[in-house]
Amino acid sequence: MIKPILGTKKIRRVICIIIGLFCILLLIGIFKHNSTNSVNNEASNFTVDFEEPSYTFPKTVLFENNNNLDDLLLAKKNNWKFQSNVYNQLFMDHSIESVLSLSFNQRCELLIRNIISQKVSWIFDPLETFEINYESEDYIQFIQQEGIKLNKKFEKIKNNLKFKTSLNNFIKDEYKIIRSKQYEQKIIDQLTILRIFNKCFIKNGSKDQNDLVDRIIQEQQKLVTKANSAANGQSELELELKLKLKLTENEKMVSELVEDYVTLGKRVYPWISQRFPFYERWNGDSYYYPPNYEEIFKDKNEPLKSERSTVRDSTSSPSIFLNQFKDASNGKGIVLSITEKHIDDTINLIRLLRALNNKLPIQIIYFNDISQSSKTKIIKAAREEINNFPKSYEKVYHGKQPSVPPSPPPPQEVWFVNIYESINPQHRNLFAKFDFKLLASLFNSFNEFMLIDADTILMKSPEFFFNHQSYQQTGAFFFKDRSPLLKRPITDGEFLIKMGPSSIDSIMFDIPMMTQYTTHRELFKGLRLYMESGLVMIDKQRRRHFNSILMMNQLKFIHPISNSMWGDKELFWLGFAINGDENYKFNNHFAAAIGQLTSNQYNKDRRTPLKSKEICSSHPGHISDEDDRSLLWFNSGFRFCHEANNIDYQEETKNNVILKFLNGRHPLEFKKYYSDPLRITHAIVPPLNKNFQKMYNYDEEPTDGWTSEPNCNKYMWCAYSSIGGRTGPEETSHKETLDGLLVEYTPEEIAYFNYLGDVWVGKY
């Protein structure tokens, strides 16, 4: 097989952009109009607040179908409406030729200048939810302004409506349609500004990558000059005068605002206080600035340089806070975000990391809500010498399991990172639960980090994941969730595509559009769940990745997106995609059920055993796509039921359906089984019907790869190794089946799993 030439992907992208630009220039040569002339007095005096409500919606061309000429002609015919009003306004004030003749930095400054000139007080407002509220003042005003007109409209059409409705509901529907369109446009505009600001002002990329952008811009400038010269027969002097961009009067007036990059950063990220987190090492050393790990670990007896802890915030520096923070990040390590309720899990996790011989530093991100006594418990678990081992250790060690570390397990380098002061006081109450994982991805001070939950169970050392081929190739490695047939509207995917970069973003600022690499994933086709965020691998220094982290945090505030997801899960990879960053990889397998196979005699009360094998477990496990068997990690702790301490066992024994071997047992036996370590002998990755349809059959085999059960506070899921069967009642009827992945582990692997489970629960 012939390997692709290095840089081929970049070359293809350059060619696509040049082709798209050439189409624009052809259009410029064919169609002439005066409204884009930058010296036109009307344009100079004309200002539009693109955030101002409007009840009319011109047809908008998404302008993103492979940059082809037909789309451009259609866009021109419709008054050249780009997907984002940010560009619509820019090209009302300036000709396309004059804008494309600018350098990259000049384009950045012009666009920001143009945005602020339309609304001097522009700021991204984290308090704006974009939610439809029928009790709001806005809705009352809408009724006052539009009520009479809508009443007349309703009287005309009410008898022809497919579904009967009241006038009140009709007005609500009309309000929802209008506001939803406005909110959608406003979100598109805000995300466009966010991407452009990050691309222009947040350091991102190596010199080679920046040189590539410069070459693209230079090629565009050559094409602009050539196309205009050929179309108009103008001299070089005439052409130079034509292409010279002139600022509008409003743009001239906001020079000071545009040149103040620190203030610009505060406009885009007002929820960030511009203060660094507070870093506290296990030994009591503290820093108001990201610690330099190379310096610290070089000589533990050498005092640390004081100048690194003297800077309280970034306002003493003219550069943008986020650039300072990115530049100060260093090293690689493990990151977790916890509160007081996660302390026990964190202690168990640290014991597990010691058993895995982890030597990477650990940053525990918190929001001013961990007590000193809890810190002391964590430090004790991380630092005290371990002399006692579970009985299972001997069996594993003498079984020559290579992954078991020598005794004693190494102490852990634990840091506590308080991000409370890094969030503006007026926005602190906007963050809750899963949001802190997104903040942890931003405010940890590592270049490369593994973000995990307190109840994440690693079955490989952390270094294994940093060395994984998928992570090494992309600097962003993710894992898929369970794949039950829980669906979402197809319109969710269509909405997300609109939120991504358009071709004009790509032409103007080299921000790539979404491709089928993203849009062909199951979430865009209607699957409810896609990513499991219990373990996330990201390298901040890779091109665009830091900006993608910023995007995923910003998406949290955009409720039409965040509220359609389950917690934080999908915001990680969608933050990448919406940022124009598809340099990420997923493990190919969806999550597995891990544990022990259900015995045939207990399976569905059938006389004939099912072909499909079953595992009922509360733990989503992740099987390597490199060998289709290695268990890499799983979630929900190492007890059989992570909710063991929160269950009414009297009720559990009465309502037990799937764990029939426990029927008739005393509730205390139930509790012991739930509290003991999960024993793993098998794993099942269920099949997924590509049409997301159940496979009904006459064999009474499972129709779906997953079923949810009430056990373990409804955290229990049963997985099946195959689905489907006979499509008719006759024995000879055609069979439609799908097989998943069934893994049976060796005695050595099972012994190793048992050892790690005993370590995690503290079974010594």
Who contacts 511 (Cβ-Cβ below 8 Å, separation ≥6)? 195, 196, 199, 501, 505, 580
Please tell me the predicted confidence (pLDDT) of residue 30: 37
With a cut of 50, say whether residue 309 has pLDDT above it: no
Query: Sorting pLDDT into bands at 50, 70 and 90, what band is 578?
Result: very high
Distance between CA atoms of residues 574 and 548, nearest Å = 9
With a cut of 60, say whether residue 230 has pLDDT above it: no
Please tell me the predicted confidence (pLDDT) of residue 102: 86
Query: Sorting pLDDT into bands at 50, 70 and 90, what band is 55?
Result: very low
* pTM (two decimals): 0.85
CA R_g for the chain: 29
Distance between CA atoms of residues 245 and 522, nearest Å = 45
Query: Sorting pLDDT into bands at 50, 70 and 90, what band is 96?
Result: confident
With a cut of 90, say whether residue 519 has pLDDT above it: yes
Distance between CA atoms of residues 414 and 401, nearest Å = 28
Who contacts 342 (Cβ-Cβ below 8 Å, separation ≥6)? 454, 455
State mean pLDDT over 434-457.
96
Of 140, 136, 141, 165, nearest to 153 (Cα)?
165
Q: Tell me which range, 214-218, 442-446, 643-647, is most confidently predicted by mean pLDDT.
A: 442-446
Mean pLDDT of the chain: 83
Query: Sorting pLDDT into bands at 50, 70 and 90, what band is 695?
Result: very high
Please tell me the predicted confidence (pLDDT) of residue 20: 58
Sign of the Cα pseudo-torsion (173, 179, 185, 190, in order): negative
β-partners of residue 595 are: 682
Phi then psi for 13, rounded to 5 degrees? Answer: -65, -40
Query: Sorting pLDDT into bands at 50, 70 and 90, what band is 117?
Result: confident
Q: Whats the size of the chain, residue-wise?
A: 764
pLDDT tens-digit readout, 421-443:
999 999 999 998 889 999 999 99
CA–CA distance from 117 to each of 270, 597, 611, 744 (Å)?
Answer: 19, 66, 68, 65
Residue type, 654: K
Please tell me the predicted confidence (pLDDT) of residue 215: 72
With a cut of 60, say whether residue 71 has pLDDT above it: no
The more confident residue out of 211 and 605 is 211
Distance between CA atoms of residues 686 and 594, nearest Å = 11
- Alpha helix (H) residue ranges in 362-453: 372-383, 391-398, 435-443
Please tell me the predicted confidence (pLDDT) of residue 298: 78
Distance between CA atoms of residues 476 and 572, nearest Å = 10
Please tell me the predicted confidence (pLDDT) of residue 29: 44
pLDDT tens-digit readout, 143-196:
999 888 989 888 888 887 777 888 889 899 999 999 999 999 999 999 999 999
Residue 427 DSSP class: G
DSSP string, 593-616: EEE-BPPGGGSTT-SSPPSS-EEE
Residue 516 in tokens = 């089928």
With a cut of 60, say whether residue 292 has pLDDT above it: yes
Residue 625 in tokens = 């796509």
Please tell me the predicted confidence (pLDDT) of residue 223: 64
Please tell me the predicted confidence (pLDDT) of residue 211: 64
Distance between CA atoms of residues 751 and 392, nearest Å = 7
- Burial class of 450 by CB neighbour count within 10 A (0 to 12, 13 to 18, 19+): buried
> Is the link from the previous residue into 411 a cis peptide, with omega within 30 of 0?
no
